[in-house]
Amino acid sequence: NCGMPYYIGGVIKNEDDLLIQTPESFHARFNVDVRVNNEVLSVNSSEKTVKVLDHSKGKEYAENYDVLVLSPGAYPYRPPINGVDKAHVFTLRNLIDTKDIRSFINQHKPQSAVIIGGGYIGIEMAENLKESGIRISIVEASSHILKPLDEDMAHFVQRNIRSHEIGLYLNSKAGEITDNEVVLENGTHISADIVILSTGTNPETGFLKNSGINLGDRGEIIVNDRLETSVKGVYALGDASAVTNIVTGQKQIVPLASPVNKQARIAGDVICGKNAKYSGAQGTSIIKVFNLTAAVTGESEYSLKSSNLQYLKSYTVSTSIASYYPGAETMYIKLLFDSSGIVLGAQIVGGKGVDKRIDVLATAIRARMTIYDLQELELAYAPPYSSAKDPVNMAGFVAGNILEGMMKPFYPEDIDKIDKNGVLVDVRTPGEFSSGHIPGAVNIPVDNLRENLNSLDKSKNIYLYCRIAQRGYIAQRILEQDGYNTKNLAGGYLFYDAMVEDK
């Protein structure tokens, strides 16, 4: 399923490349009876039977089981929008949907498309349809796209999307779909020869009503660490089940391919008598957005707040490889950690190398490592691949400075709240300052700071910033050692500029 948007966009040329097995090949190799076009209508857990409808014959029958594994997946949510059932409105969940979209594009050659919903599938479809020459608009009801990302990190992705001439309508809802437009609730009309719904999914568990199997509020199947449901001998996995979050300990749906594959293996082991357990999921995911990559693992700032968990955060800006080596690309890293330094979550947006850094941080979260462990990690280094202090090491160093009180941060969202007794100081060069700065700032380059100490009032709070917070940190140490009260802008001007430019 993960390859479907890329087949629609022509990146994957051959439809057969999306097929792992056919019913015939699965039977030939594993002697498994695969029954396509057969729908389970209900489960009777007390009698250990399932009622099945054979769509090809139009007949119902009962099937007995000794052990039952439930992996029904989820179905796309279709919002109650006038016109949502029109022929040019599609969801993308399976190969049939993929063929329908490809066929519509080939037959009608749409010039414009509206993607309703800015999740992973929606963004992947936006990129692939754009690469096919279609004019794209994305309509998202919340304040930013890609819900696993926090808004401060989403700014970089949204700015990139807009740079590719894609219309991005945030905090917006579709009110009506006509034959050639999507009309937003605020009255905006957007041209749409084809509409893709990417508005989330719901567990496909209606057939489990009255089965005796416990379900959650959304209809998700509740399982234990052996992936067993409330009914002995019945197991569940995948997009329809709720597993334990390894950071918060709460039950949640994690509709990602990697965790589901591991769940399938563990469920098989348990059924066959092995003492196996599923320790939980952390939601590690990654997406390509044109020339950018965005990746997350563990908890977001939003989810930590929602769970009333205390946390600290750091931003770092690094290059993907040694900065002097050709092809170095900028990488923005957000790290979330608790008061003891344990890593709770991480988000990265950048170019090459995002994938390997998020994997290191995912491993750190799984192993309950601390920011000090990140500092000590010995990671592969040569100029074409990294820096002597890898971006992961740097994230650990900055987080350590914050936790130890060496770096006292403030954040882009705090700039409007700077107290009247505060002074905002830009410690970049005059050239950098003249090319763009935060309103109200005075410019004192860090290399001239010592000789200008008398120009700053010790009775006032000093708010420092530079491009990426490194020079701001040096300025902070100079001033703090001389008795000033300071804060340094985490992430620097780059994070501030992304926030302002994206509004």
Q: How many CA atoms lie within 13 A of 151 on its CB side?
A: 14
Which residue in the list 2, 32, 87, 367 is annotated as catalytic? 2
Q: How many CA atoms lie within 13 A of 26 on its CB side?
A: 10
Query: What is the Cα–Cα distance from 322 to 171, expressed in whole angstroms?
Result: 39
Q: Which residues pair with 60 in a beta bridge?
A: 53
- To which residue do tokens 């992947």 refer? 124
Which SS3 state, helix, strand or coil, does residue 73 take?
A: coil
The yes-or-no answer on residue 2 being catalytic is: yes
Angle, helices 354-366 vs 391-403, to 10°: value is 50
Q: How many CA atoms lie within 13 A of 389 on its CB side?
A: 10
**Three-class DSSP labels, 368-425:** CCEHHHHHHCCCCCCCCCCCCCCHHHHHHHHHHHHHCCCCCEECHHHHHHCCCCEEEE
Query: What is the Cα–Cα distance from 105 to 124, expressed in whole angstroms?
Result: 16
Query: What is the Cα–Cα distance from 259 to 285, expressed in whole angstroms?
Result: 10
- To which residue do tokens 């219309």 refer? 167
Residues 6+ apart with CB under 8 A from 274: none
Name the residue among 220, 223, 235 with its Cα closest to residue 267.
Answer: 235
Residues 6+ apart with CB under 8 A from 441: 424, 425, 426, 433, 465
Catalytic residues: 2
